[in-house]
Amino acid sequence: MKIPFVKMQAAGNDFVLVNEYDKILIPEDKKSNFVKKISDRHFGIGSDGVIFLQKPDKDADAKFHFFNPDGSIAEMCGNGIRCFARYFYDFIEKKNFIKADTLKGILNLEIFPKKTNKDFEVKVNLGKVLEFSEMNARGFSGYYVNVGNPHFITSWSDVDYVNVKELGREIRNSNVFKNGANAHFIQRLGDDEFRIRTYERGVEDETLACGTGICAASYAMYKKHGKKKFLIHARGGDLNVEINENNAGEEEIFLTGGAKYVFEGKVKFKV
């Protein structure tokens, strides 16, 4: 069977998106093998993850079903969900506000269609931080922040000198984390401006950007320095983060950035 797909990227974080809104194309028990096959950068399409856009299980507009390239299911992906939102807006329904059914719950996405002087952008309300603590992992001091998926953030004077793959693997697999954690190395440029480099779970090389990790790092720096708005420079591009209180006085994280198409096609897969 030939499976239609769209390749997309957000801040250099690239994804394969499969539209299953009207029909499930790949059975759930075969999705992991499909993801591993097409995510391979030498023998497949190549991606940092695969998004299945589906009918929602709850009161939402669509379901965001996301897999890491190793075939494991991920709780959330801040860059991936912006690609999901753009595709939904372009091909399912032109709504400026979308409710996404995710493993973290229902997330609100605000769409800013492309204008003459500005690229298409999506603002993601990532919701509340589930866990936050200062801790050590493999000898590195930093912050553990769970925003639906787990992150460890540690500060460096210059992230250009970090061996991200080696140190990231050590931190990611540290036994202080129950299910591993995405590792992030940040460099402070100003009160509200940082550089970041990332090594994620389920990925074999450095990731150019991680949306939830950028949110987690911003939250850690908010706790440390008190600022509520941040400009974060990832290797794949810049993202903006805001931390605001909702009507209940709870802190919520908002991530804003673009999402772009790369190409589309069909891939053979036996279902």
Q: Is 83 a catalytic residue?
A: no
Q: In whole angstroms, what is the distance from residue 95 CA to residue 172 CA?
A: 38
What is the structure's pLDDT at 31?
A: 98
- The active-site residue out of 8, 10, 210, 214 is 210
What is the structure's pLDDT at 58?
A: 87
Task: Quote the distance between the C-alpha of residue 144 and its chain's center.
Answer: 17
What is the structure's pLDDT at 178?
A: 86
What is the structure's pLDDT at 182?
A: 95
Q: Is 215 a catalytic residue?
A: no
CB 171 within 8 A of CB 98: no
* Range 131-249 has CATH code 3.60.20.10: no
| pTM confidence score | 0.94
What average pLDDT score do residues 173-201 get?
94
Q: In whole angstroms, what is the distance from residue 128 CA to residue 209 CA?
A: 21
- The active-site residue out of 6, 8, 77, 216 is 77
What average pLDDT score do residues 56-70 get?
96
What is the structure's pLDDT at 117?
A: 63
CB 112 within 8 A of CB 94: no
What average pLDDT score do residues 124-141 get?
95
CATH assignment of 2-113+260-268? Answer: 3.10.310.10
Per-residue pLDDT band for 204 (boundaries 50, 70, 90) equals confident
What average pLDDT score do residues 38-51 get?
96
What average pLDDT score do residues 5-12 get?
97
E strand map for the chain: 2-10, 13-20, 50-54, 62-67, 97-102, 105-112, 121-127, 131-137, 140-146, 150-155, 182-190, 193-199, 229-234, 237-245, 251-258, 260-268
In the chain, list all ranges with CATH 3.10.310.10.
2-113+260-268, 131-249
What is the structure's pLDDT at 233?
A: 98
pLDDT tens readout for residues 245-259: 888 888 999 999 999
What average pLDDT score do residues 2-10 get?
97
What is the structure's pLDDT at 239?
A: 97
pLDDT tens readout for residues 80-121: 999 999 999 999 999 999 999 999 999 999 999 976 567 899
What is the structure's pLDDT at 116?
A: 57
Residue among 209, 187, 103, 192 nearest 147 (CA): 103
What is the overall mean pLDDT for the chain?
95
What is the structure's pLDDT at 173?
A: 86
